[in-house]
Every structure is written in structure tokens, then in C-alpha cells.
Homo-oligomer: A and B are copies of this chain.
Amino acid sequence: MAKVIIIEDDVEIRRLVAEGLADKGYDVDSAASAMEGLEMLVSVRPEVVVLDLGLPDLDGGELLRMVRSISDVPVIVATARDDEDSVVAMLDVGADDYVVKPFSVAQLEARIRAVLRRVGREGHRAPIEVGGLRIDTAAREATLDGEPLDLTPKEFDLLRLLAERAGEVVSKREILAEVWREPYGGSERTVDVHLSWLRKKLGETAQRPRYLHTVHGVGVKLVAPR
């Protein structure tokens, strides 16, 4: 399973987390200091880093920047109490997610899995094509019959999800889980609204669909127009 490294100075927490994750099948290494963590990063090449803020030898933000300079590995920050400011700062510098101490191992694992899922999916693949639609996930660009579509982030994610599963009906709940993953969903109405906007940009209406077909009571599916 996935390789994880924990950078955390508190012996107790380190051991707890390391063992907890190991029990769940992760391949875990841990470092007690920033320096040790950096060395481990290059030697172990983990798929996820769990980084404690408040290390004795180096400021967390500084360390995160250094990590980012050598790798794109996802970093989950563990912060003591609900320190909003530092969390925001961390996300700003490139952290992927965070947990607030005290956290359960289960909670941490949930974040790890979410992060892995996310990056796993973003492995740049060939652009998706459905009819005259072309979705370039790497460039984050979409075109319709060669014309570029000006999509907002959510619209793009929504379109990509539906295109990845072209021909398959996707429920709104599923869409919420996939596209709106932070911080745990919203209402299905929101999906409706974004779908409506997407339709407008695709030059179609719900009554006269070309790509986006709603399946009453179930969800939507994207199909190539005939």
C-alpha cells in the first residue's frame, strides 16, 4: 500500500500515528525533526507526507516550502489546536489538507485516502473526447467543436467528471462527493445550478439537450449528440 512519512517531534504522537497507520496497511516511516524529514523525503519517496507544525528546528511553513521545492508529494498538515491563521498560511504555501489536533487515526486516514484519490485521478491522462467536446485535464481546458469554452473551476470539474464517465448516468449525490469534496458537500440544488450554466455554455437547454441528458429521478449523463 501507500508509503507515508510522519514528521512529528512528539514521541508519543509519532508512535501512535505510525502504528495506527501501519495497522491499516500503510508503509510508514517517521522523522522526529525537519532535517530528518527532508532526508527521508528524498530517500523514501513517500506518496504522502504528514507534517506536524511546531517542530523545534524549523518553522513549518519554511519546511513546507523546502518540501515543495523538491517534490509535488501531497502534504497533510497536523496543527495544534484550531489555529486558523497558520492553517490558511499552510494551504497557501501548498499544503493539500490538514487535521487539527487532537485527531484520531481514523480521521487522518480519511484525509490520506482523499488526498491519494485526488492525485491519483489527476495523473495527466490523454484528453477526453466525446463528440465535439474535448477536455484536456492536464491543461484544464475544454473546447467544443474547436471553440474554447470559458468554464469556471466547478464547471470544469463537473464536465470532466461526466466526460470521464460518458454514457453512464451519474447521480447528483455522486457528483457532490466527487466535485464538491471540500468541506463535505452541499445541496443537490447547487449541482442543478451549475449544470444549468454548463448547458448554457454548451449552447443547449435542458429541453433540447445535446450532450447533457438528465435522467429523471436518477441523475445526468453526458453523451455524444447523434
Contacts and interface: CB of A to CB of B under 8 A. Distances in A.
A57 to B, nearest CB: 12
B153 A139 contact: no
A138 B168 contact: yes
A173 to B, nearest CB: 6
Interface string A189-226: 00000000000000000000000000111100101000
30 contacts: A23-B43, A24-B42, A35-B104, A38-B107, A38-B110, A39-B105, A39-B106, A41-B106, A42-B106, A43-B106, A62-B184, A65-B184, A65-B185, A68-B185, A69-B110, A69-B114, A69-B181, A70-B110, A70-B113, A92-B173, A92-B187, A93-B185, A138-B168, A139-B168, A139-B221, A139-B223, A140-B169, A152-B217, A153-B216, A153-B218
A41 B184 CA distance: 18
Nearest to A173: B94
